[in-house]
Amino acid sequence: MLTLFGVLIFAVGLLGSIALHELGHLLPAKRFGVKVPQYMVGFGPTLWSRKKGDTEYGIKAIPLGGYIRMIGMFPPNPAGVQDKEHLGRFGLMIESAREEVLAEISPLDEPRTFYRLSVPKKLAVMFGGPFMNLILATILFTISLSVIGRPEVTTTVSEVVVCVPTASNPNGIASTNGECVGGEKTPAALIGLKAQDTLLSVAGIEISTWEDLSPALAAKAGETVQVTYRTAQGEVVTKSVEVASYETAILDATGNPTGEFTNRGFLGISPAFDLVPAPVSQVPDFMATLTVASASALLDFPARVFGLAGDLFTEVPRDPQSPVSVIGIGRISGQIAGSEDIPSIYKAADLINLLASVNLFLFVFNMVPILPLDGGHIAGALYEGIRRQVARVRRKPLPGPVDTAKMLPVAYAMSLALLAMSVIVILADIVKPLTF
């Protein structure tokens, strides 16, 4: 039941993200007078729709995206009406699409076409969608990082190891009568430390973070030290105890074992984790780092999908870093919500982070300067603006709108590539699903 609830929460969040993305296009388009016949969330058959003014608002059956349809996305051919008999395959494709777009423009609606907008207005309309995803990601990450907080190690005890680990008892488990067979009790067990107690100082060194404990104990094996802690009831207790010796492997600079061992002081406790809210000022840096990582992952996306396709029907385990589809992300969100080992507040943080990451990736993805993505239209508008500025400097007549219809072959090829990659990743999420 909880798993289904997690999937439902993610699905609603994703649909909301899509709706807000398209709203980011719709609002400035209407503000600038562009006629928008349709605002749709999803693709495929229409499940529900209602017309208000010039616009039909609706929800479609396949929740893998959305769109708004603005009239006049392509301008008339600057060369005039073309003789189709002398056009090649791509030329026919471009002119057919152009005619379809221009056919719905009535003389009264001609001033309300997208291509007649100024460059700044075109940029506002096309950037509005990705900007909505960026704003939503920022809000969600702020809630996760600065309201709920991130898990951090604390100086509070989560578990006391009863026995000093040995070769015959590596986990330090006591016998049924509480004795340590073949070994000795840990200092923590001897002085009565319990879960939810908080360390204050060890061997005269204040323990303000968990990282303070290791250097405080490192050279104290076999020595008697004072341990001060606060019990769960608030009482401050100080006790003397001999620090146990525990053989540990020596690691090199890269964190790998060198094959040598050393004896270090051992107290016998594990730390508890707690959600610690971060200052809001840290959110931009966190998002900037994640944005760079998302852009890097996007560059590797085709290669990773190709590798995923090669491993799809083999016995090779799926790479945990491989791309996932909406189906895969939905399954992960369900696993998070359905896990009985994760506290509810951690589940909420994980689901919020998941949805925030999806929105940030949508922002980065849509900014790729290739049609049919928003970045392609943004690049076209920027090119138009540059051409006009150059014409002004050279005191030449201002050129007309950029003929983005000429990029349709690239747009169709891009759409087919995205569709093929989506099918591969969705199939992988069904055949070889990743687990959380």
- 411 phi-psi bin (left φ>0, alpha ψ -120 to 50, beta other): alpha
Which residues lie below 8 Å from residue 144, measured CB to CB, with a gap of 6+? 150, 349, 352, 353, 356
Where does 339-435 have alpha helices with state H? 344-366, 374-393, 408-431
- Active-site residue 22, yes or no? yes
C-alpha–C-alpha distance, residues 183 and 190, integer Å? 13
In what helix (H) or strand (E) does residue 304 lie, and over which residues does it extend? helix 282-311
C-alpha–C-alpha distance, residues 38 and 54, integer Å? 8
C-alpha–C-alpha distance, residues 245 and 222, integer Å? 6
Tokens 């492997």 locate to 249
Residue type for position 54: D
Residue 198 pairs with which residues in a beta bridge? 156, 230
Distances in Å between the Cα of 356 and the Cα atoms of 13, 140, 287, 325 are 10, 5, 10, 15
Whether the Cβ atoms of residue 68 and residue 26 lie closer than 8 Å to each other: yes
Q: Active-site residue among 22, 110, 247, 340? A: 22
Radius of gyration of the chain, Cα coordinates, nearest whole angstrom? 31
C-alpha–C-alpha distance, residues 323 and 312, integer Å? 13
C-alpha–C-alpha distance, residues 105 and 29, integer Å? 16
C-alpha–C-alpha distance, residues 136 and 134, integer Å? 5
Instruction: Give the side-chain half-sphere CA count within 13 A for 223.
Output: 14
Active site residues: 22
